Structure 1
Amino acid sequence: MTRAIMLQGTGSNVGKSMLVAGLARAFARRGLSVAPFKPQNMSNNAAVTPQGGEIGRAQALQALAARRAPHVDMNPVLLKPETDTGAQVVLHGRRLANCSARDFATMKPRLLRDVTDSFTRLASTADLVLVEGAGSPAEINLRAGDIANMGFARAAGVPVVLVGDIDRGGVIAQIVGTQSVLDPQDAAQVVGFAINKFRGDPELFEDGLAAIEIRTAWPSVGVLPWFDDAWRLPAEDIMDLAGRHTGDGAFRIAVPRLGRMANFDDLDPLAAEPHLRVDIIEPGRPLPGDAALVLIPGSKSTIADLEAFRRNGWDIDLTAHIRRGGHVLGLCGGYQMLGRSIADPDGIEGRAGSYPGLGHLAVDTVMAPAKRVQLTQARHPASGAPLEGYEIHLGRTEGPDCARPWLEVGSRPEGATNATGRVRGSYLHGLFAADAFRGAYLAELGAQSGLKYDDQVDSTLDALAAHLERHMDLDLLLHMSAKV
Structure 2
Amino acid sequence: MVQGTTSDAGKSTLVAALARLLKRRGVKVAPFKPQNMALNSAVTANGGEIGRAQALQAMACGLEPHTDMNPVLLKPSSDTGAQVIIHGRAIGTMQALDYHSYKATAKQAVLDAFARLQRQYDCVLVEGAGSPAEINLRDNDIANMGFAEAVDCPVILIADIDRGGVFAHLVGTLELLAPSERARVAGFVINRFRGDLALLQSGLDWLEARTGLPVLGVLPYLHDLHLDAEDAIATGQRTGDTCLTVVVPVLPRISNHTDVDPLRLHPQVDLQFVAASDPLPPCDLVILPGSKNVRGDLEHMLANGWQEKLNRHLRYGGKLLGICGGLQMLGKSVADPLAIEGTAGKTPGFGYCDFTTELHAEKTLKNVKGLLRLNDAEVPFAGYEIHCGVSRGPDLASAAFMIDAQGEQRGDGVLSGDGQILATYVHGLFDEAAALEQLLIWAGSEPQALAAFDLAEHREAQLERLADTVQEHLDARWLDSLGAT
Report the TM-score when normalising by structure 2: 0.95
Q: In 2, are the aligned partners of 1:246 and 1:274 still within 8 Å (CA)?
A: no
Q: Residue 3 of structure 1 corresponds to which residue in structure 2?
A: none
Q: Residue 368 of structure 2 corresponds to which residue in structure 1?
A: 376
Q: Residue 421 of structure 2 corresponds to which residue in structure 1?
A: 423
Trace 1:250-399 onto structure 2 (pairs within 5 A): 250-288=243-281, 290-382=282-374, 383-399=377-393
Distance, in Å, in 1 between the alignment partners of 2:163 and 2:119 is: 38
Question: SS state of the match for residue 306, structure 1?
Answer: helix
Q: In 2, are the aligned partners of 1:297 and 1:332 still within 8 Å (CA)?
A: yes
- Letter aligned with residue 234 of structure 1: D
Question: SS state of the match for residue 391, structure 2?
Answer: strand
Distance, in Å, in 1 between the alignment partners of 2:100 and 2:241 is: 47
Q: In 2, are the aligned partners of 1:362 and 1:399 still within 8 Å (CA)?
A: yes
**Shift in Å, 1:368:** 1.6
Q: In 2, are the aligned partners of 1:378 and 1:389 still within 8 Å (CA)?
A: no
Question: SS state of the match for residue 229, structure 2?
Answer: coil
Distance, in Å, in 2 between the alignment partners of 1:108 and 1:136 is: 17
- The correspondence for 2:109, drawn from 104, 114, 120, is 114
Q: In 2, are the aligned partners of 1:362 and 1:400 still within 8 Å (CA)?
A: yes
**Shift in Å, 1:481:** 8.2
Q: Residue 229 of structure 1 corresponds to which residue in structure 2?
A: 224
Q: 1:171–1:481: structure 2 CA closer, same or farther, 3 Å change rule?
A: farther
Q: In 2, are the aligned partners of 1:165 and 1:197 still within 8 Å (CA)?
A: yes
Distance, in Å, in 2 between the alignment partners of 1:134 and 1:193 is: 16
Q: Residue 452 of structure 1 corresponds to which residue in structure 2?
A: 454
Is it true that 1:472 corresponds to 2:474 in the alignment?
yes
Q: In 2, are the aligned partners of 1:11 and 1:135 still within 8 Å (CA)?
A: yes
Q: 1:436–1:469: structure 2 CA closer, same or farther, 3 Å change rule?
A: same
Q: In 2, are the aligned partners of 1:274 and 1:450 still within 8 Å (CA)?
A: no
- Letter aligned with residue 384 of structure 2: Y
Gaps of 5+ in 1: 1-5
Distance, in Å, in 1 between the alignment partners of 2:176 and 2:333 is: 52
Cα RMSD over matched residues?
A: 1.5
Distance, in Å, in 2 between the alignment partners of 1:338 and 1:190 is: 51
Q: 1:269–1:149: structure 2 CA closer, same or farther, 3 Å change rule?
A: same
Q: In 2, are the aligned partners of 1:194 and 1:220 still within 8 Å (CA)?
A: yes
Q: 1:449–1:359: structure 2 CA closer, same or farther, 3 Å change rule?
A: farther
- Letter aligned with residue 208 of structure 2: E
Report the TM-score when normalising by structure 1: 0.95
Per mean C-alpha deviation after superposition, the further-off stretch among 59-68 and 241-250 is 241-250
Question: SS state of the match for residue 419, structure 1?
Answer: coil
Report the number of matched residues: 475
Distance, in Å, in 2 between the alignment partners of 1:166 and 1:205 is: 11
- The correspondence for 1:215, drawn from 192, 210, 220, is 210
Q: 1:169–1:352: structure 2 CA closer, same or farther, 3 Å change rule?
A: closer
Distance, in Å, in 1 between the alignment partners of 2:363 and 2:482 is: 42
- The correspondence for 1:150, drawn from 127, 145, 153, is 145
**Shift in Å, 1:370:** 1.6
**Shift in Å, 1:16:** 0.8
Q: 1:347–1:98: structure 2 CA closer, same or farther, 3 Å change rule?
A: closer
**Shift in Å, 1:242:** 2.2
Distance, in Å, in 1 between the alignment partners of 2:239 and 2:71 is: 34
